Structure 1
Amino acid sequence: MPDQSEAVRQRDEARPAKEWARILAEYREPDPIRSSFELAVTLGPFLILWCLAWWSMSVSYWLTFTLSVCNAAFLLRLFAIQHDCGHGAFFQSRTVSDWLGRVIGVLTLTPYDVWRRSHSIHHSSSGNLGRRGMGDIQTITVMEYRQLNPLNRLIYRLYRNPVVLFCLGPGYLFFIQNRVPLGLMGNARFWVSAMCTNAAIFVWVALVLYFGGLVPILLIFLPSTLLAATAGVWLFYVQHQFETTHWDADEDWQLHESALKGSSHYVLPPVLQWLSANIGVHHVHHLYSRIPFYRLPEVLRDHAELAESNRMTIRQSLHSVRLHLWDEESRRLVSFAQAKAL
């Protein structure tokens, strides 16, 4: 008797990428009770750890710092909830989702409406060589790199350096770039989003300074925010920057094909998967972004091919840091050294 699971896997492999969008639509409905629970078990510990860290300043600054580092994990998860709000995947009510996203945006230093728009552009253009530059990691082709002058080559190499991407970049993105609606400057709505978020951030930071001075800023706010930002940038990087990712010229680009082949399945230990709100199941998310994060594992259980597609372990993801250029001939992301040898 043939193996039924193998038959299911072969059937799934035969499905075109576009058909997955229809299949995955059945997972799109959020459960308001489950969503409320996920919010409670994320926001609650975040606030408790903030209070404990504040209290611990009278005991030990090292304890304060340690608690703030732990709290970065819950801040990262709050950003993931904000992310689902932006996709309309957290609550059925768009109004409730949007206002929750705006409130969380004050904690994550992210103007919600600006981010939602730029992230929407990312979803609608990911893997399209003709529409790069909004909400993605800057990536150029081998041919484009060869055509750059020495100065611009140096600038690109510096940009793709891990120190810049993962040490300097997160702080710049969340503390500086997010203060203005970069790329959307011509729309008053996005200026309102950015400035209102900035004002709310200013108020709560001012309150922290007034009641606690500079110490809670240095030992609670900055460590948790910077660490969460760094983890977020890393996750975003490995979601699309891997050797067998998918890029096409504008005339050949297809949305669902790019979603399936150009997004990774980042396999994390259960604790890290929970703290990152299953965002590692990124290929499924790009195929159907309205699926709540807590239903993504359900998709993998039901569809064997998606569970195996573009799997990337933590060890394998470290290799992606050395990949910098898209080679249109081999259809691979390659390193500067590999590009030189081509």
Structure 2
Amino acid sequence: MQANSSWPDARPALKQFRIPSLGKAIWQLINTLVPYAGLWYVMILSIRHDVSYLWTLALSVVAAAFLVRLFILFHDCVHGSFLPSTRANTWVGRLLGVLVFTPFDDWRLSHLRHHVSYANLDTRGFGDIWTLTLREYNQSPRLKRWIYRLYRNPVVLLGFGAIFNFLLSNRLPSKKVQRKERKSVLFTNLAIVGVFLIAAQTIGWQTYLLIQLPVLWLAGMGGIWLFYVQHQFEGGYWARKGEWDALRAAMEGSSFYKLPTILRWFSANIGYHHIHHLNARIPNYRLPECYNEVPAVRAREPLTLRQSLHSFRLKLWDESQERMVAFP
């Protein structure tokens, strides 16, 4: 999409949609947690009764979709937008954090940093996909270029990235965090160990791992893919600190990922990402309402599922052309 400095500013009109609904939030927890637990129960039975493990893996795909949805609800809690109570958002977020293997307070700090630094070439590195400019890549040593190519490979970014982020990286606190964030990591790690020990005594540790690992891996791949296409797509927007504009960053640097209805449900409307970056306090269940009632946000051209598949060929930001490009 071509640069446009005259986007209609939807931010004032979006403020009215920030009020959370307790009923909708509770219903989202029920319609996500209950099926997720039910799938776990069926998968446990399938392993206990020596049903082909392929059936368990097939069910794990559906369970992973529910886990992605749980992560988006966790994400809403991070922004304090899911429930009306700040305290409820915190504690529900911490409990969901155990299920999605992500410490709430630590991830909140890095994610909020992402919201104030995304699309800014001078403040990269907070909760985003590693992105070099074309000039930086050409001036980098051969080893760094090789590592960057490896990192941006879809197999590494999605496949190994899912395991690295959720099983390994999230077990350690982020750099330069305070005691609160470190305690969050410790609480989450201890809770995960507690769940594992309880599972080992009830269903057996082998059964637990045969279910949890593929579900977490598949959900992690789905989550990383969603996060990738939210800011890495044809055209896009990046700018240096002195030229960075919040409205352009939201409307040009964040995608409107137009997904089929079933995928939009499982991703809890995260595809309306340009609206989310215009106002992060809007609950996921009110984003479609925003899109339908505020004409200014409909000025953003959607990114379709088919178009998004071409995003992986985009690797670098070309400052001279102001667009994402492939490797030279």
The answer, yes or no, to whether TM exceeds 0.5 is yes
Out of 111, 122, 126, the residue aligned to residue 103 of structure 2 is 111
Q: How does 1:237-316 map to 2 (within 5 A)?
A: 237-316=228-307
Q: CA RMSD in A?
A: 1.5
Task: Quote how far apart the aligned CAs of 1:41 are.
Answer: 0.5
**What's 1:150 paired with?**
142
Alignment partners' CA distance in 1, 2:314 and 2:280:
27
- In the TM superposition, what whole-angstrom CA distance separates every residue of 1:234-266 from its partner, at most 9, and x where no partner exists? 000000001211100011112232112100011
Instruction: Work out the CA distance in 2 between the residues paired with 1:82 and 1:291.
Output: 14
Q: Does 1:326 align with 2:309?
A: no
Identify the range of structure 1 (75-84 vs 308-317) with the bigger mean alpha-carbon deviation: 308-317
Question: Secondary structure in 2 aligned to 1:333?
Answer: strand
Q: What is the aligned counterpart of 1:51 among 23, 35, 41? A: 41
8 Å Cα contact 1:125/1:255 also seen in 2: no
Separation (CA, whole Å) in 1 of partners of 2:231 and 2:198: 39
In the alignment, structure 1 residue 169 sits paired with structure 2 residue 171? no
Instruction: Report the residue type matching 1:212 in the other structure.
Output: I
Taking structure 2 as the reference length, the TM-score comes to 0.95
Measure, in 1, the Cα distance between the counterparts of 2:208 and 2:133: 42
Provide the aligned length of Structure 1 versus Structure 2: 323
Report the alpha carbon displacement of residue 15 of structure 1 after superposing the two structures with TM: 6.5
Give the aligned residue type for 1:121. R
**Counterpart amino acid of 1:299?**
C
Offset, 1:54: 1.2
1:16 is displaced (CA, Å) by 4.3
TM-score, normalisation: structure 1 = 0.91
Alignment partners' CA distance in 1, 2:189 and 2:257: 33
Counterpart AA for 1:159: Y
Quickly say closer, same or farther: Cα 1:78–1:238, change in 2 above 3 A: same
3-state secondary structure, aligned to 1:280: coil
| Partner residue, 2:125 | 133
- The residue identity in structure 2 corresponding to 1:189 is K
Distance 2:203 2:286 in 1: 41
CA distance in 1, matches of 2:111, 2:279: 14
1:7 corresponds in structure 2 to none
Alpha-carbon shift at residue 95 of structure 1 (Å): 0.4
Show structure 1 runs of 5+ residues with no match.
Answer: 1-12, 338-342
In the TM superposition, structure 1's runs of 4+ consecutive aligned residues that sit over 6 Å from their partners are: none
Contact 2:10/2:294 (<8 A) preserved:
no
> Structure 2: where are the runs of 5+ without partners?
none
Instruction: Give secondary structure in 2 for the equivalent of 1:289.
Output: coil
